[in-house]
Amino acid sequence: MDFLYDVQDEKRVLSALQYMPAAEQIEQLANFYKIMSDPSRLMLLMALEKGELCASDLANVAKMSRSAVSHQLKALKQAKLVKSRRQGKTIFYELDDEHIHSVLKVALEHIKEGADHHD
């Protein structure tokens, strides 16, 4: 295999290359983090951690306008981070699956752990 630079530990380099996802998956992962990087969207996702809520209730929790919440929910839904269901005239939103719960939980634990280490 040809490398751009001298290899210090070929075994580890080859292992890293074998583990590396396809370029398309890297792009999808970057887009996932782009969507998750907005504080308003993160607030909505965190509000949905405990269960489904309608847009009005999400607006109350996040202290955002209903139109802002609807705009953010559209982006979250397109990214498959939330799903919705209609009950009469009301649409309820919830996290799309357990993976989203896990990502939020682990990331928040990491942040809290980092804060504890720097006190």
pTM over 0.85: no
Q: How many Cα atoms within 13 Å fall on the side-chain side of residue 54?
A: 8
Contact present, 68 and 74 (Cβ < 8 Å): no
What is the tens place of the pLDDT at every residue in 6-52? 999 999 999 999 999 999 999 999 999 999 999 999 999 999 999 99
Q: For 88, left (φ over 0), alpha (ψ -120 to 50), or beta?
A: left
pLDDT at 118: 61
pLDDT at 94: 97
What number is the average pLDDT over the span 84-107?
A: 96
Is the model's pLDDT at 3 over the cut of 70? yes
